[in-house]
Amino acid sequence: MTATDIKTDIHKKIDVLQDISVLNEIYALLDRQNLSKDFWDNLSAEQKADIEAGLQDLEAGRKKPYKEVLAKYGL
């Protein structure tokens, strides 16, 4: 199925959809996709803070890099 086929099919399904809550969910999903191509912009302040804290822990030597953990276990 090509991108054009998928878009056409989605358009047909949306045209007959009457449930406003489903339409709102679809709209919100599409709107989020268009807001930013960078996932960072879609994270909450708490999520960003957790990631930053993890990076600081990594830099301070309190965590092990993912590749190092994989290598340790032969993965």
* CA distance linking residue 40 with residue 55, whole number of Å: 14
Each residue of 63-72: pLDDT tens digit? Answer: 888 898 899 9
Kindly state whether residues 33 and 55 are assigned to the same domain: no
- For residue 63, give the 3-state DSSP assignment: coil
Each residue of 11-56: pLDDT tens digit? Answer: 999 999 999 999 999 988 888 766 656 788 778 999 999 999 999 9
Domain span at residue 53 reads: 43-75
Instruction: Give pLDDT, residue 51.
Output: 94
Kindly state whether residues 35 and 70 are assigned to the same domain: no
Kindly state whether residues 19 and 7 are assigned to the same domain: yes
Each residue of 51-62: pLDDT tens digit? Answer: 999 999 988 988
Kindly state whether residues 48 and 66 are assigned to the same domain: yes
* CA distance linking residue 9 with residue 55, whole number of Å: 43
Buried b (16+ CB within 10 A) or exposed e, 9-36: eeeeeeeeeeeeeeeeeeeeeeeeeeee
Q: Which two tokens stand for residue 1?
A: 């199925």
Kindly state whether residues 55 and 30 are assigned to the same domain: no
